[in-house]
Amino acid sequence: MVRLARDRGVATQEGYLGGQVLVAMPGMQDPRFARSVICLCAHSSEGAMGIVVNKAIESLSFDDLLRQLGLEPVPPQRRIRLLQGGPVEGGRGFVLHTADWSGEGSLRVAGDLVLTASLDILKAIAGGGGPRRGILALGYAGWGPGQLEEEIQRNAWLSVPPDESLLFDEADERKWHQAMAKLKVDPTLLSGTAGHA
């Protein structure tokens, strides 16, 4: 049974990457994150939390999810894409969306991005309303205190500013290349070894 989380997240602070998009380096050794594009929803001295935005769930439809949660209407008037948001707590749901809708459990990520972890948003979407754009992620990527900073120093991640196309378009298989293109970087020229000056 899938349940929607009610976490409010960790407020971001200056000097942290909350609201940025993490892009896995070509040499990423962890197969769960190879070629991942992650919207970093919260980052502070206490750790980080993000949503993988380029790994679709093929085995579950939005209609199936509504049935599991006992939400109406089924079939819905509107649907939202389901993604594998990360390896942590795969039964918890988070909707990353534009800021034109908010409700209980909503957390401003950055600019026009909001993360909502309540059933109200799924009811709104199923009923034909809700935010203009969004994705539903089951699970999330999480890092303990200092862990993400250490991974960045080891050259595991790059960061880019978010944009709606990168976050919400359906071309999951192209998002990693799209994120690299935002950096004006040719991934074939990147080294997996961190350098120090």
Residue 2 confidence (pLDDT): 44
The pLDDT tens digits for 21-61 are 999 999 998 999 999 999 999 999 999 999 999 999 999 99
pLDDT by position in tens, the chain (length 197):
344 443 333 333 456 899 999 999 999 989 999 999 999 999 999 999 999 999 999 999 999 999 999 999 999 999 999 999 999 999 999 999 999 999 987 999 998 999 999 999 999 999 999 999 999 999 999 999 999 999 999 999 999 999 999 999 999 999 999 999 998 887 777 655 554 44
What CA–CA distance (Å, rounded) separates 93 from 69? 11
- Cα 187 to Cα 52, 75, 80, 190: the distances in Å are 19, 42, 31, 5
With a CB cutoff of 8 Å and minimum separation 6, the contacts of 35 are 24, 28, 54, 176
d(CA 52, CA 30): 14
Give burial (CB, 10 Å; 0-12/13-18/19+) of 48: buried
CATH number for the domain formed by residue range(s) 3-184: 3.40.1740.10
3-class secondary-structure state, position 142:
strand
